[in-house]
């Protein structure tokens, strides 16, 4: 039985256009899925859109459309972006999908029957733009929401509560005391900010708007966004539905590795509410939540009013998907906030893709073609053993880091191998060996490079999807071989005569 991996992104709000921040999370998920697949896992990758709530209702109204009309184009634009980025998701969930809506109602009923949800009354502060009830520590002295900075309103409303207080001990001593939340420093942050001050019961229905899922028990109540949204991770698999084979296969198996990705401002929902809901439903917990920082543009958070929102489509059209995916993988480690500007992007592209990886492939390709007409004799001469050791230790380090979801560090290890190989060329001076007709030594150097470069390409395969086949081709690896290459047979590939030389990762001027 192959090992299994289930990975999810947050489902994005279609209330605006997607920007580089959303593309960031989705690309990280795609890279991890592709890595796991290469490593022999059976994988399932879920993304989607979070379509209910007051904001969507208002947006549609502003444009004189019904919410569903408004959402149609938005969702199409999400999918267009994912296609441009080569995102290989297995399912796209919309929270307006009928199966999702029906299952959310059932989930609500289940939690109600188990006594984890009760009916009550909410009195207090409400932030319209966050669509959230606020505690006194979430508002400023002059009654503004600390997150949105908008004036809060005082409301009184009938509502159902999720009894989070019942999960206080579980969240504090099980979930947040384990290795569930990554990076580790976020665990204390959650405990100190939300759990230690005691978990307050959470209002999970609204009566003030109608664009959402009404509960069966009392249809004037709409399920409030977080129960609706978080449960997508199981409804998409078929939980409580007739066809629940994916649910049983992935969530139902305790050995499936389950990973959620989420940005720092929604870690709270994923590391407190979501584990509580799962516990209430008597379901297993995900293995990890990888919480990541924000991408800033020119040092500040992107926002329409500042005018610093980076449109990923423009960057992809200008420089290609691989350049963009590479920047995300390498330059934006998940533990902290990162920066994106076009200048930084070009600098990184030139330094790593053009001067390191692209250059390495191109000069090796040229030398094999020039000195040996494209075909080296691997059966007689072997790869240099020092370089071989270096390649093997790179593969091991890379895998260890990727298994910890440290994509940036794993990429660095591969780039370091690329640098070593470029240096190896400078030291061995194949052109001198050729001039002096030391052909055996020359062939060993080129065989060493050819094999090691194939390893570099394979390790970059989860990231550089647009160019991988071309890169392999330039090293004499046939289509058939590309299909079977993996981490175990990486150094045993057969080489064809090199016929091609494609222009890869040209320097950007
Ligand atoms: N709909 C909710 C998520 C529900 S998941 C059950 C939501 N949607 S969102 O569209 O506002 O944001 C989705 C994700 O995009 C979040 O993880 C958020 O952190 C991420 N990003 C939005 N802007 C970002 C940056 N500038 N940088 C990095 N990620 C950012 O929240």
Tens digits of residue pLDDT in 82-125: 999 999 999 999 999 999 999 999 999 999 999 999 999 988 88
pLDDT level of residue 465 (50, 70, 90 thresholds): very high
What are the pocket residues of ligand 1 if the criterion is a CB atom closer than 6 Å to any ligand atom?
Answer: 10-13, 21-22, 24-25, 50, 229-230, 232, 262-263, 265-266, 294-295, 301-302
Asked whether the predicted pLDDT for residue 146 surpasses 90, the reply is no
The two three-digit tokens of residue 479, written as one number: 């289509």
Task: Report the separation in Å between the CA atom of 4 and the middle of ligand 1, taken as the mean of its atom positions.
Answer: 26
Please report the atom of ligand 1 found closest to the CA of residue 261. Answer: 17
Output the CA–CA distances (angstroms, integers) from residue 321 to 26, 124, 281, 334, 355, in the order listed.
13, 48, 41, 20, 18
Residue 7 has pLDDT above 80, yes or no: yes
Is the pLDDT reported for residue 208 higher than 90? Answer: no
Atom of ligand 1 nearest to the CA of 230: 6
Distance 430 CA to ligand 1 centre (A): 51
In 3D space, the residue among 4, 11, 3, 2 whose CA is nearest the CA of residue 270 turns out to be: 11
Q: Look at residue 450 and tell me whether its pLDDT is greater than 80.
A: yes
pLDDT for position 351: 98
Of ligand 1's listed atoms, the one at least distance from the Cα of 302 is 26
Q: Which of 126-130, 249-253, 266-270 has the lowest mean pLDDT?
A: 126-130
- List, in sequence order, the alpha helices (H) in 18-93: 20-38, 54-62, 67-84
3-state secondary structure 346-409: HHHHHHHHHHHHHHHHHHHHHHHHHHHCCCCCCCCCCCCHHHHHHHHHHHHHHHHHHHCCCHHH
pLDDT band at residue 133 using 50, 70 and 90 as cut-offs: confident
Helix locations, 151-273, DSSP H: 168-170, 185-190, 225-230, 232-235, 245-246, 267-268
Whole-number pLDDT of residue 122: 87
Q: What is the pLDDT of residue 157?
A: 87
Q: Specify the residue with its C-alpha closest to ligand 1, atom 30.
A: 21
**CA separation for the pair 472, 364 (Å, rounded):** 12
> Which ligand 1 atom minimizes the distance to the CA of 265?
19
Catalogue the long-range contacts made by 503-506 (C-beta closer than 8 Å, 24 or more residues apart): 504/357, 504/358, 504/361, 504/362, 504/467, 504/470, 504/471, 504/474, 505/322, 505/323, 505/349, 505/353, 505/354, 505/357, 505/358, 505/467, 506/354, 506/358
pLDDT digits (tens, 9 = 90+) for 52-78: 998 899 999 999 999 999 999 999 999
Cα 19 to middle of ligand 1, angstroms: 10
Q: How far is the CA of 263 from the centre of ligand 1 (A)?
A: 6
Contact 217, 112 (CB under 8 A): yes
Please determine, for residue 242, whether its predicted confidence score (pLDDT) is greater than 80.
yes
pLDDT reported for residue 38: 96
Q: What is the pLDDT of residue 126?
A: 86
pLDDT of residue 132: 79
C-alpha to C-alpha distance for 31 and 25, rounded to whole angstroms: 10
* pLDDT exceeds 80 at position 2: yes
* Distances 68 to 64, 65, 77 between C-alpha atoms, Å: 12, 8, 14
pLDDT surpasses 80 at 304: no
Q: Residue 130: what pLDDT?
A: 79
- Average confidence (pLDDT) over 271-289: 98
Q: Does the structure show a pLDDT above 80 at 35?
A: yes
Q: Which DSSP helix (H) or strand (E) runs through 175? A: none
Give the mean pLDDT of the chain: 95
Partners of 290 in the β-ladder: 182, 261
Which residue puts its alpha carbon closest to atom 6 of ligand 1?
230
Q: How many CB atoms lie within 10 A of CB 178?
A: 12
Domain ranges of the chain: 4-292, 341-492
Question: How many other CB atoms are found less than 10 A from the CB of residue 479?
Answer: 10
Query: Whose CA is closest to 100, among 46, 154, 140?
Result: 46
SS3 for 434? helix
The confidence score (pLDDT) of residue 448 equals: 98
Alpha carbons 406 and 424: distance in angstroms, whole number: 27
Interval between CA 40 and ligand 1 midpoint (Å):
30
For a mutational test of ligand 1's pocket, the pick from 11, 21, 74, 301, i.e. the residue with the most ligand atoms closer than 8 A to its C-beta, is 21
Cα–Cα distance measured from residue 232 to residue 58, given in angstroms and rounded to the nearest whole number: 23
**What average pLDDT score do residues 356-368 get?**
97
**Does the annotation flag 127 for ligand binding?**
yes
Cβ within 8 Å of residue 92, ≥6 positions away: 47, 48, 49, 78, 79
| Closest Cα to atom 15 of ligand 1 | 22
Strand bridging mode 153-162 / 117-127: antiparallel
**From the CB of residue 237, how many other CB atoms can be counted at a distance below 10 Å?**
23
Residues 360-381, mean pLDDT to the nearest whole number: 96
- Residues 471-476 have a mean pLDDT of 96
Distance 240 CA to ligand 1 centre (A): 27
Q: Compute the distance from residue 12 Cα to the ligand 1 centre, in Å.
A: 6
Give the class (CATH, top level) of 341-492.
mainly alpha
Identify the band that residue 128 occupies on the pLDDT scale cut at 50, 70 and 90.
Answer: confident
In the predicted model, is pLDDT for residue 176 greater than 80?
Answer: yes
Instruction: Tokens 């290795």: give the residue.
Output: 179
Atom of ligand 1 nearest to the CA of 338: 27
pLDDT(171) > 90: yes
Mean pLDDT of 231-250: 98
Which atom of ligand 1 is the closest one to the Cα of 297?
Answer: 26
C-beta separation of 81 from 23 below 8 A = yes
Burial class (CB in 10 A: 0-12, 13-18, 19+), 138: middle
Per-residue pLDDT, 302: 77
Quote the longest CA-to-CA distance of the chain.
89
Phi-psi region of 282 (alpha: psi -120 to 50; beta: other; left: phi over 0): left
pTM: predicted TM-score of the whole model, two decimal places: 0.95
Classify domain 4-292 at the CATH class level. alpha beta
Ligand 1: residue whose CA is nearest its atom 7: 12
Whole-angstrom distance, CA of residue 207 vs CA of residue 220: 6
Q: Is 145 assigned a ligand-binding role in the annotation? A: yes
């Amino acid at each position: 039985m192959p090992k299994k991996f289930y990975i999810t992104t947050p489902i994005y709000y279609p209330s605006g256009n997607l920007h580089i921040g959303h593309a960031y999370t989705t690309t990280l998920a795609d890279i991890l899925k592709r890595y796991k697949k290469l490593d022999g896992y059976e994988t399932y990758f879920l993304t989607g859109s979070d379509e209910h709530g007051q904001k969507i209702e208002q947006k549609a109204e502003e444009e004189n459309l019904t919410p569903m009309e408004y959402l149609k184009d938005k969702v199409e634009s999400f999918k267009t972006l994912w296609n441009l980025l080569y995102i290989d998701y297995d399912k796209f969930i919309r929270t307006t999908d009928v199966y999702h809506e029906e299952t959310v109602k059932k989930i609500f009923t289940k939690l109600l029957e188990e006594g984890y949800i009760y009916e009550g009354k909410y009195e207090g502060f409400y932030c319209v733009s966050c669509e959230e009830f606020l505690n006194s520590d979430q508002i400023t002295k002059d009654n503004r929401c600390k997150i949105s900075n908008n004036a809060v309103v005082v409301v009184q409303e009938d509502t159902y509560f999720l009894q989070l207080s019942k999960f206080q001990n579980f969240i504090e001593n099980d979930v947040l005391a384990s290795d569930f939340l990554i990076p580790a420093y976020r665990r204390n942050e959650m405990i100190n900010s939300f759990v230690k001050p005691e978990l307050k019961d959470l209002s999970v229905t609204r009566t003030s708007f109608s664009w959402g899922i009404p509960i069966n028990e009392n249809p004037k109540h709409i399920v409030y966004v977080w129960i609706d949204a978080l449960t997508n991770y199981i409804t998409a698999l078929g939980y409580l539905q007739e066809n629940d084979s994916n649910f049983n296969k992935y969530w139902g198996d305790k050995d499936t590795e389950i990973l959620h990705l989420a940005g720092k401002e929604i870690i709270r929902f994923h590391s407190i509410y979501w584990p509580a809901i799962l516990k209430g439903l008597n379901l297993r917990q995900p293995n990890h939540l990888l919480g990541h920082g924000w991408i800033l543009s020119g040092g500040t958070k992107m926002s329409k009013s500042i005018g610093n929102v980076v449109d990923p489509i423009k960057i992809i059209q200008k420089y290609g998907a691989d350049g963009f995916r590479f920047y995300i993988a390498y330059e934006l480690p998940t533990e902290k906030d990162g920066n994106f500007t076009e200048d930084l992007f070009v600098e990184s592209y030139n330094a790593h893709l053009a001067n390191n990886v692209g250059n390495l492939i191109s000069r090796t390709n040229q030398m094999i073609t020039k000195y040996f007409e494209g075909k080296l004799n691997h059966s007689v001469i072997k790869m240099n053993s020092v370089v071989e050791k270096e390649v093997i230790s790179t593969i091991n380090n890379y895998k260890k880091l990727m298994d910890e979801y440290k994509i940036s560090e794993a990429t660095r290890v591969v780039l370091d191998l690329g640098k070593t190989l470029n240096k190896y060329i400078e030291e061995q001076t194949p052109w001198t060996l050729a001039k002096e007709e030391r052909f055996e030594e020359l062939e060993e150097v080129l065989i060493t490079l050819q094999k090691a470069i194939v390893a570099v390409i394979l390790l970059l395969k989860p990231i550089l999807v647009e160019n991988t086949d071309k890169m392999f081709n330039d090293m004499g690896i046939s289509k058939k071989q590309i299909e079977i290459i993996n981490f175990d047979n990486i150094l045993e590939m057969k080489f064809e005569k090199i016929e091609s030389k494609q222009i890869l990762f040209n320097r950007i001027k």
